Structure 1
Amino acid sequence: MLFLLAKAPYNQLTLEAIAAQAQTSKPALRRRWQSMPGVVIHALIATLGSSPTPDTGCVHCDLTEGISSLARSFADSPLARALPGLMSDVANEPELHETFMNDYFEPRRASTRRVLESAILRGELRQTLDMELALDMLAAPLYHRVFFGHQPITTDVAEATVMAVLRGIATDTWPGHREI
Structure 2
Amino acid sequence: MTTDLGRPRNPGIDDAVLRATVDLIAESSYADLSVDAIAARAGTSKPAIYRRWRGKAHLVHEAVFPIGATTAIPDTGSLPGDVREMLRRTLAVLSTPAALAALPGLVGEMASDPTLHAALLERFGDILVGALSDHIEVARRRGEVRQDVTASELAEAIAGITLMTLISRGASLDETWVERTACLITKGIGT
Compute the TM-score of the two structures, normalised by the length of structure 2.
Answer: 0.75
- What's 1:41 paired with? 61
Question: Which piece of structure 1 moves more, 9-18 or 159-168?
Answer: 159-168
Query: Is the 8 Å Cα contact of residues 19 and 25 (structure 1) preserved in structure 2?
Result: yes
Q: Does 1:20 align with 2:40?
A: yes
- What's 1:126 paired with? 146
Structure-2 separation of matches of 1:116 and 1:63 = 11
Matches within 5 A, 1:14-163: 14-46=34-66, 51-104=71-124, 106-110=125-129, 111-127=131-147, 129-131=148-150, 132-146=152-166, 148-156=167-175, 157-163=177-183
The superposition leaves residues 17-66 of structure 1 with CA deviations (integer Å, 9 ceiling, x where unpaired) of 11011110011001111211111011133277673321242111111111
Structure-2 separation of matches of 1:130 and 1:158 = 21
The list of structure 1 runs, each at least 4 consecutive aligned residues, that deviate by more than 4 angstroms after superposition, is: 47-50
Amino acid at match of 2:72: P
- What's 1:176 paired with? none
Equivalenced residue count is 168
State the shift of 1:10 in Å. Answer: 0.7
Amino acid at match of 2:74: P
Structure-2 separation of matches of 1:18 and 1:84 = 19
Question: Which piece of structure 1 moves more, 132-141 or 60-69?
Answer: 132-141
Amino acid at match of 1:112: L
CA gap of 1:59–1:130, structure 2 versus 1, over 3 A, is closer
Query: Is the 8 Å Cα contact of residues 51 and 107 (structure 1) preserved in structure 2?
Result: no
Query: Is the 8 Å Cα contact of residues 124 and 170 (structure 1) preserved in structure 2?
Result: yes
Query: Is the 8 Å Cα contact of residues 48 and 70 (structure 1) preserved in structure 2?
Result: no
Amino acid at match of 2:109: D
Structure-1 separation of matches of 2:170 and 2:97 = 16
Percent of counterpart pairs with the same letter? 28
CA gap of 1:39–1:134, structure 2 versus 1, over 3 A, is closer
* Unpaired stretches in structure 2, ≥5 consecutive residues: 1-20
Compute the TM-score of the two structures, normalised by the length of structure 1.
Answer: 0.79
Q: Secondary structure at the match of 1:55?
A: coil
Question: Which piece of structure 1 moves more, 44-53 or 71-80?
Answer: 44-53
Matches within 5 A, 1:3-14: 3-14=23-34
* Unpaired stretches in structure 1, ≥5 consecutive residues: 172-180
Q: Secondary structure at the match of 2:31?
A: helix
Query: Is the 8 Å Cα contact of residues 113 and 135 (structure 1) preserved in structure 2?
Result: no
Structure-2 separation of matches of 1:53 and 1:154 = 21
Structure-2 separation of matches of 1:120 and 1:90 = 33
